[in-house]
Structure 1
Amino acid sequence: MNTHHPWTTRAETSTDIATIRQITLAAFDRAEEADLVDALRRDPAWIADLSILALDDNGIPAGYALLTRAHIGDTAALCLGPCAVLPRYQKTGAGSAAISAGLDAARAMGEHFVTVLGHADYYPRFGFTRAAAHGVGMTMPVPEEALMVLSLDGEPVPRGVIRYAEAFGDI
Structure 2
Amino acid sequence: MTNKFKKVEDTIITISELMLPSHANFSGKIHGGYILNLMDQIAFACASKHSGTYCVTASVDTVDFLNPIEVGELVTMKASVNYVGRTSMVVGIRVESQNIQTGKINHCNSSYFTMVAKNEGGKSVPVPGLIVTNDLEIRRFLKAIKRLEMKRKRTDEFDGDDFTPEMYLKELENQNVKIELNG
TM-score (norm 2): 0.29
TM-score (norm 1): 0.31
